[in-house]
Structure 1
Amino acid sequence: MAQYLAHTVNAQLFGLGAGTVGWILTMVTIGVVQWRIWVVSDLSIISSGYAWVGLWKVCFYSHTDLASKYSSLYCQMMGVSDSFVPMEIVAARVLMLVALVLGLLANASTLYGLRNIFFGLGKHRPIRLAFTIGGVLHLLASVSSLVPLGLNMQAVFTNQNISFPENFYMPSAPLQQHVGPAICMGLSGAILTVATGVIFLFYRFPSRRIHPKGQASGTGGGHDNPAFQSEE
């Protein structure tokens, strides 16, 4: 069965690769600080005129004594219990981590299905179940990513403020805001995850056995094998 089904999962192999890349992009997105880029007018402390707002910290370049002697980058962590953190960032912390876990489980499920196909370790039913569960989990992971990404994009487009404490040395409001590369990276990962989910959900077993050269067993004088007529 492994040789027979191995020729039907080329798209699924691509989907596994795309899902893995999407999961990696999601993981990187969580840690990158450039979610929202604030443009500030006062350059006395924020020397570059730009500050980066992420899920866990705020950073900017400064030529003052705020930065260490080894780097001009000044960062302040935003704690879980900090009340000034806006809801879109709080939601992103939770939902992006959920997306990371769902993506990991989805890749594990689809990898299990592909393993059964190539090593002939299972019948059609467990393979279909593994692909279905993996596809659904990939779609759920993409939704968990797209919701916080969309909320933070809306906050950027509407130029929403954040009331940072004084020790953050951030202005009360930015001159303007830009979507950071972290959001773009997260959107790319979510798109790949959606595509992967669709690929695995739409996998169908062939109705008859296919030889490696692509010729059905019923041609050339052969006979169809009834065992391969049913998806079960």
Structure 2
Amino acid sequence: MNLPQWRVWCFEEPMESKPSLTLVGMWRTCVYHRENNSEFLRVCYQYTYQDTFIPLNIRVAQHLLLISSILGLIATISVIVALWKLYTGRLRKKITHNPFFVPGILNIIASVLVFISTLYNYLSIIRKDGIAFPPYFHIPNIPDNQKVGTALAMATLSSFLFLVGGTISISFTLPERSRPQSSI
């Protein structure tokens, strides 16, 4: 999530005050200025909560990604606890529920939140939305060319993996040997 390559802004015919490449991320922006014909100078700016230039789509995506991270962490801890109980045989004698159901639901919800964040960002790229960066960033408000970055592709893959993990957890059934034997 911290990678700055969510959006890649390219500028044609870079000038002194105009960068040649800008990477716009969820929590920072990195600007690449061409110093000589072959060297690039990289300057990164971290966002703060007080920054007013950050558009609503990035603010919403930040919050959705943080919530999905927390849900994913809770789901992982829940899976570890369920696996430990299953391994040690400490499941209740008359278990009637799937111990992996709650982690599965949490992973699916996390998947949806990450997917909404990536979709929101992708739509901003398609619409060619600009960002009114402060003047000291030395970045124009609208790039000449805007494309999808690698962090957006990784977030999409993450969303898919959360969904697969949640689906596997929900569809889990206890093996026959682990089910408690009822004595009649």
TM-score, normalization by structure 1: 0.70
2:46 paired with 1:82:
no
2:182 paired with 1:227:
yes
**Counterparts of 2:25 and 2:95, CA distance in 1:** 41
**Counterparts of 2:18 and 2:94, CA distance in 1:** 61
8 A Cα contact 1:99 1:140, kept in partner: yes
**Counterparts of 2:93 and 2:173, CA distance in 1:** 10
**Counterparts of 1:138 and 1:156, CA distance in 2:** 27
Task: Describe the shift of the 1:169–1:125 C-alpha distance in structure 2 as closer, same or farther (beyond 3 A).
Answer: farther
Give the SS at the match of 1:182: helix
Task: Describe the shift of the 1:196–1:131 C-alpha distance in structure 2 as closer, same or farther (beyond 3 A).
Answer: same
Q: What does 1:1-232 align with in structure 2 at a 5 Å threshold?
A: 30-45=1-16, 49-64=20-35, 72-123=41-92, 128-206=97-175, 208-209=176-177, 227=182
Give the SS at the match of 1:31: coil
8 A Cα contact 1:46 1:61, kept in partner: no
8 A Cα contact 2:64 2:114, kept in partner: yes
- State the Cα distance separating 1:127 from its structure 2 match: 8.8
User: 1:94-132 CA distances to partner (integer Å, 9 max, x unpaired)?
Assistant: 110111110000011111111111111122666945311
**Counterparts of 1:50 and 1:124, CA distance in 2:** 62
Give the SS at the match of 2:45: strand
**Counterparts of 2:26 and 2:74, CA distance in 1:** 23
- State the Cα distance separating 1:77 from its structure 2 match: 2.4
**Counterparts of 1:124 and 1:183, CA distance in 2:** 46
- State the Cα distance separating 1:204 from its structure 2 match: 1.9
More helix, by proportion: 1
8 A Cα contact 1:46 1:60, kept in partner: no
Instruction: State the structure with more CA Rg.
Output: 1
8 A Cα contact 1:113 1:126, kept in partner: no
8 A Cα contact 1:114 1:127, kept in partner: no
8 A Cα contact 2:79 2:100, kept in partner: yes
TM-score, normalization by structure 2: 0.86
More strand, by proportion: 2
**Counterparts of 2:54 and 2:94, CA distance in 1:** 47
8 A Cα contact 1:131 1:200, kept in partner: yes
**Counterparts of 2:70 and 2:160, CA distance in 1:** 17
**Counterparts of 2:14 and 2:177, CA distance in 1:** 70
**Counterparts of 1:62 and 1:176, CA distance in 2:** 16
8 A Cα contact 1:99 1:145, kept in partner: yes
**Counterparts of 1:46 and 1:34, CA distance in 2:** 22
* Structure 1: 5+ residue stretches without partners: 1-29, 65-70, 211-224
**Counterparts of 1:154 and 1:82, CA distance in 2:** 23
8 A Cα contact 1:37 1:53, kept in partner: yes
8 A Cα contact 1:55 1:92, kept in partner: yes
Letter in 2 for 1:92: A
